[in-house]
């Protein structure tokens, strides 16, 4: 498939899927189509639009069925396809303010634009930046000061208040 046709297919896919995802109270993080032999694999990544928490498996199953119905009705894809609907993994880079808000209370590893690495508990996240707490010290970082950030996996995460 030519790059122009692939781009058009992805635009049509997102246009078909986004209303279904939104109606489920979720945010469409990404939608892609990849070849897998004679079949295609449609990958749809959904997330909560904002705030902490996660998408439970029942909600994920429900939206997956709805997406499947829409894709079948819209007949966007020629031939057989496999649909995979998931949420972003914990290793997803934090790139948007809503990603940071979803990670509130979590331990976050940050590389600043100046090349400094720091890790701290994400205390606040607004449209301008974040506040990290580390060893009793709070540090405010604007998003323009952050070149890379990722949630750290904690096996013994402290209890939430």
pTM for the whole structure: 0.75
Q: Locate 153 and state its tokens.
A: 């996996």
Q: Which of 35-44, 50-59, 115-124, 135-144 has the lowest mean pLDDT?
A: 50-59
Residue 144 has pLDDT above 90, yes or no: yes
Residues 62 and 116 in one domain: no
Domain boundary among 86, 117, 139: 86
Residues 82 and 101 in one domain: no
Report the pLDDT averaged over residues 68-92: 87
pLDDT at 128: 96
pLDDT at 84: 95
Asked if residue 84 lies in contact with residue 106, where contact means CB atoms within 8 angstroms, the answer is no
Residue 25 has pLDDT above 80, yes or no: yes
Please give the helix or strand (H or E) that residue 80 lies within, else none: none
Q: Locate 78 and state its tokens.
A: 């020629």
Domain count, the chain: 2
pLDDT at 161: 47
CATH code, domain carrying 25: 3.30.300.70
């Amino acid at each position: 498939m030519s790059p122009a046709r692939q781009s058009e297919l992805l635009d049509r896919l997102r246009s078909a899927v986004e209303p279904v995802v939104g109606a489920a109270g979720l945010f469409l993080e990404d939608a892609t189509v990849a070849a897998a032999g004679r079949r295609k694999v449609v990958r749809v990544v959904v997330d909560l639009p904002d705030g902490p928490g996660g998408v439970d498996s029942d909600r994920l199953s429900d939206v997956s069925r709805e997406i499947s119905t829409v894709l079948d009705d819209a007949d966007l894809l020629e031939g057989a396809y496999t649909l995979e609907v998931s949420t972003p993994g914990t290793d997803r880079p934090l790139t948007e303010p809503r990603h940071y808000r979803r990670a509130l209370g979590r331990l976050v590893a940050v590389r600043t634009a100046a090349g400094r690495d720091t890790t701290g508990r994400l205390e606040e996240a607004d449209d301008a930046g974040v506040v990290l707490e580390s060893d009793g010290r709070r540090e405010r970082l604007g998003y323009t000061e952050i070149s890379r950030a990722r949630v750290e996996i904690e096996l013994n995460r402290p209890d939430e208040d």
